């Protein structure tokens, strides 16, 4: 094994100094550019998320509009079917015929609670069941039911016989 000479030690120290200075320069350069690069990266990521959000929002809006239009067309077609069936199920001379038509349409497009409430009202013809029908309709429309003290009781004539509404 050879013993390092003074010149070998000097060269090693010089290389070490160059490496340390180079490392410091690289570190300094990265620290200066890192701030700018990080701002650019943040801006690109923010823009990408903004575009992705717009695309997803648009897709969901289009789907919701398509579903609403499809539901509207389906309801129109069902109403047409009921109109075509009317000679078989309606009695145009009966004063309750208009109400029966409205009930049929409610059975098609209304919530099950509305249909059940109408059926119960048709059997009993009292204000309490009519209150339940109105509450079910308001719930189906996304509204809150009326307060308990708000009732239809006083609007109905006394003793409505079945088959007259």
CA distance 19 to 21: 5
Q: Using the 8-state DSSP alphabet, how is residue 94 labeled? A: S
Model pTM?
Answer: 0.51
DSSP H or E segment with residue 85: helix 6-89
Q: Which residue has the higher pLDDT, 23 or 105?
A: 23
In this structure, the number of other CB atoms found within 10 A of the CB of residue 86 comes to: 15
**In which residue are the tokens 């340390």 written?**
20
Q: pLDDT tens, 78-93?
A: 888 887 887 777 677 7
Q: Tell me the chain's radius of gyration from C-alpha atoms.
A: 40
The domain limits of the chain are: 7-89, 92-165
For residue 57, give both structure tokens.
């929002």
Q: Does the pLDDT of residue 53 top 60, yes or no?
A: yes
Q: pLDDT tens, 93-142?
A: 777 777 777 788 888 888 899 989 988 888 887 878 888 888 898 898 88
Closest CA to 134 of 93, 148, 124, 92: 148
* Model pLDDT, residue 160: 55
* Model pLDDT, residue 57: 96
């Amino acid at each position: 094994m050879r013993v390092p000479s003074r010149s070998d030690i000097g060269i090693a120290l010089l290389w070490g100094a160059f490496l340390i200075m180079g490392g410091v320069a690289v570190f300094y350069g990265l620290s200066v550019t890192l701030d700018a690069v990080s701002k650019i990266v943040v801006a690109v990521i923010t823009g990408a998320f903004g575009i992705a959000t717009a695309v997803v929002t648009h897709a969901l809006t289009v789907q919701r509009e398509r579903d609403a239009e499809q539901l509207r067309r389906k309801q129109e077609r069902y109403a047409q079917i009921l109109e075509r069936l009317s000679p078989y199920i309606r009695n145009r001379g009966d004063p309750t015929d208009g109400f029966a038509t409205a009930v049929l349409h409610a059975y098609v497009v209304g919530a099950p609670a509305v249909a059940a409430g109408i059926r119960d009202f048709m059997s009993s013809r009292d204000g309490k069941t009519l209150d339940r029908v109105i509450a079910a309709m308001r719930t189906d429309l996304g509204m809150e039911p009326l307060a308990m003290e708000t009732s239809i009781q006083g609007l109905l004539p006394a003793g409505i016989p079945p088959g007259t509404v």
